[in-house]
Amino acid sequence: MKQPLNILERYWNFTSFRPKQEAIINAVLAGEDTFVLLPTGGGKSLCFQIPALVKEGICIVISPLIALMKDQVTQLHNKGIKAIAITSGISYNELDTLLDNCIYGNYKFLYLSPERLQQELVQERIKQMPVNLIAVDEAHCISQWGNDFRPSYKNIALLRQIQPTVNVVALTASAKPEVVNDIIKELDFIKPKIFKQSFLRENLAYMVYHETDKYFKLERILKKHTAPSIVYVRNRKSTYEVCELLKTKNITATYYHGGLSHTEKEANMTAWIQNQKQTMVATNAFGMGIDKPDVKTVIHLNLPESIESYFQEAGRAGRNGKKAFAVILKNENDEILVKNQFLKVLPTVSFIKQVYRKLCNYFQISYNEGEHQTFDFDFSAFCKTYDFNTILCYNALMHLDRNSVISLSKQFKNNITIQFILTNKALIQYLETHMGFGIIVKSILRLYSGIFDNSTKIDLLKVTNKASVTQEELIHTLKLLERDQVITLNIAKTDAQVTFIEPREDDKTINRIATIIEQQNQLKQQQVYSILDYVENNTICKSTQLLNYFGETNAKPCGICSSCLNSKENSKPEDTNDIKNAVIKHLENGAISSRELLLHLKCTETKLKHVLKLLLEHNIITITPKNTYKLSHL
């Protein structure tokens, strides 16, 4: 048998395992059912990938996240390891071929969404596969009290019947104690080996600041800590706006959100990974599969939706073991905003029924039809057609997605249809004077024979591969061909794909999941109030609060978070004379703002505010109409 450490060195170029990894791998290799709770950055994927490579056969990996599946398959391919991901949008014939490859093609990994386990074809082929391990990623999805519960995860129990001798490893980065128990029960573990790594991050200082002007504080933090940073914002528009703002402050920045093209994502990601840009401004779409060890600060400009998501995003800081900061900037408007964003837009069961019916009508799905059909989906156009509130509608669709009624994949792409309107002879004459277009035109003609007669949808990837050009070069050339009246061109932009997993049954479909929808709405309320309690509680250590949430009740104060530092500061006798004298000295040169004072003085913002308040009370200073401070006698 190959040795795990040799596999680690050969494929990952590491010479030693991270904490607990080796023990987990040995338990899996011994055929034990294994539960793994490792916080973000703990190296969970190696805990099933290495055992699968050690043993003969194929590992089946269940994951709900299409992007993560594709990312892991790409990484395995780059290492020369054969892996397949079966996601939505694959035709029956293609599915048939891929499953055959898993049986006969010496593949090591088959990544599946849990919904795929409902298909008889998939079940029958898995019976024939030489399965060596079943890995359940994001295992918290199997628990109705877990973050992002997905009922389709209960289908995983089928694998235990199909491959009864194969052991299972369940992995998650965030699970409360009741969720851990749920996972073990639902996956039918008997005497499982349980590995939990503490959620304690000794090098990570959790900071919460109440700021009237968040952008000023953001600038100060990023200029104080000039190492790589991530700034999380609420929506796509804000990623661009905050990025541009930082540039005006001489802070190098780029941005990331789900609506960017693959090329833009790659370019922006590379600039940040290679430290050409200090700051990545992003929505919560950013972070999956990111393992940049030298991130110094992770800053949330808006409140996260839950402790679970915050802990994962904050945990991207300081993976190199050096001191790092996870910062939330809040103000008096945030509680209202977070309730409006996450609680007031929780869809009722009746509204979800309405959205589901309209969605079926939108794609002309007949009753009892539609199973496994995939459509490009322009979400904005759909909402406009039926006059739906976009956030409420999106949340309704997410309920349908999590409950395996549909699969909604967020991806921005161009749907392009073209038709050649010149005759074949005229086209040849045109190409004689536009020789640079020849390769692209000939590639399209060879791929699509009827393109002179009908408007034809073209596959950008196929054409770019055949012509050896980038997507941008292809689209630019097509626009020039349209300008020269060589082709008709229609570029329709979509931001998602929707796959119908079940046949259409209208209200019957939703009635089956009504109880789950109501329970998920209740869980969302609990999560929002938990994050509100966290940011408002300044008396208990921030690290302790997070550890208590995840069931670690004996944690000691960290000494480095904002709550601990405030306690230390408040326990010291206030030595205000030095600060008071320094303020007066600066004001002798004229009026100055509190911001400017803070930049010049070596004191905390809290102490400066205390001193300014005292000076105002004693009429030593006054506030000018421009909201600056000046000495009263000047």
Neighbours of 235 (CB within 10 A): 11
CATH code of the domain occupying 204-331+537-563: 3.40.50.300
The predicted structure's pLDDT at residue 369 = 93
CATH class of the domain defined by 340-412+498-526: mainly alpha
Nearest to 613 by CA among 569, 590, 585, 579: 579
The two three-digit tokens of residue 215, written as one number: 């952008």
Distance in angstroms (rounded) separating the CA atoms of residues 619 and 625: 16
Residue 285: burial class (beta carbons within 10 Å; 0-12, 13-18, 19+): middle
Identify the band that residue 467 occupies on the pLDDT scale cut at 50, 70 and 90: confident
| 510 pLDDT higher than 80 | yes
Distance in angstroms (rounded) separating the CA atoms of residues 549 and 503: 40
**pLDDT digit string (tens) for 209-266?**
998 899 999 999 999 999 999 999 988 999 999 999 999 999 999 999 877 877 888 8
**pLDDT digit string (tens) for 40-60?**
767 889 999 999 999 999 999
Out of 1.10.10.10, 3.40.640.10, 3.40.50.300, 3.40.190.10, which CATH number does the structure's domain 573-631 have?
A: 1.10.10.10
Identify the band that residue 30 occupies on the pLDDT scale cut at 50, 70 and 90: very high
**pLDDT digit string (tens) for 475-488?**
889 999 999 999 99
Residue 94: burial class (beta carbons within 10 Å; 0-12, 13-18, 19+): exposed
The β-bridge partners of 135 are: 61, 169
Query: Contact at 8 Å (CB) between 509 and 502?
Result: yes
Q: What separation in angstroms does the CA of 485 have from each of 430, 445, 479, 480?
A: 11, 17, 10, 9
Distance in angstroms (rounded) separating the CA atoms of residues 384 and 603: 53
User: What per-residue string of b and e applies to 409-445 under the rule 16 or more CB within 10 Å gives b?
Assistant: bebbbeebbbbbebeeeebeebbeeeeebeebbebbe
What are the DSSP E strand ranges found in 182-323? 193-196, 204-210, 229-232, 253-256, 279-282, 297-300
Residues forming CATH 3.40.50.300 domain(s) in the chain: 4-196, 204-331+537-563
Q: Provide the whole-model pTM.
A: 0.73
Query: Contact at 8 Å (CB) between 482 and 489?
Result: yes
Residue with tokens 């090329």: 263
The two three-digit tokens of residue 355, written as one number: 């959205």
Average pLDDT, the chain: 89
The predicted structure's pLDDT at residue 288 = 64
CATH class of the domain defined by 4-196: alpha beta
Residues forming CATH 1.10.10.10 domain(s) in the chain: 573-631
Identify the band that residue 273 occupies on the pLDDT scale cut at 50, 70 and 90: very high
Q: At what angle do helices 46-54 and 21-29 cross, to 10 degrees?
A: 40
Secondary structure class of 22 (helix, strand, coil): helix
Query: Contact at 8 Å (CB) between 325 and 298?
Result: yes
Nearest to 77 by CA among 112, 125, 111: 111
Identify the band that residue 614 occupies on the pLDDT scale cut at 50, 70 and 90: confident
Identify the band that residue 396 occupies on the pLDDT scale cut at 50, 70 and 90: very high
The predicted structure's pLDDT at residue 553 = 86
The predicted structure's pLDDT at residue 577 = 82
The predicted structure's pLDDT at residue 35 = 96
Query: Contact at 8 Å (CB) between 111 and 73?
Result: yes
Q: Report the pLDDT averaged over residues 444-448.
A: 90
- Decide the pairing of beta strands 58-62 and 204-210: unpaired
Q: What is the DSSP string of 392-436?
A: HHHHHHHHHHHTTSEEEEEEEEEEEEEEE-S-HHHHHHHHHH-GG
Q: Specify the long-range contacts of residues 339-343, CB closer than 8 Å, at least 24 apart.
A: 339/528, 341/234, 341/305, 341/391, 342/305, 342/524, 342/528, 343/524, 343/525, 343/528
What are the DSSP E strand ranges found in 427-503? 456-458, 487-500
The predicted structure's pLDDT at residue 176 = 85
Cα torsion at 222, 312, 16, 6 (round to 10°)? -120
Distance in angstroms (rounded) separating the CA atoms of residues 29 and 26: 5
Highest mean pLDDT among 288-292, 392-396, 576-580 belongs to 392-396
The two three-digit tokens of residue 573, written as one number: 């006798």
Query: Contact at 8 Å (CB) between 407 and 498?
Result: yes
| 600 pLDDT higher than 90 | no
**pLDDT digit string (tens) for 335-382?**
888 888 888 889 999 999 999 999 999 999 999 999 888 888 888 889
Identify the band that residue 462 occupies on the pLDDT scale cut at 50, 70 and 90: confident
Distance in angstroms (rounded) separating the CA atoms of residues 431 and 439: 10
| 293 pLDDT higher than 70 | yes
Phi, then psi, of 390 in degrees rounded to 5:
-65, -45
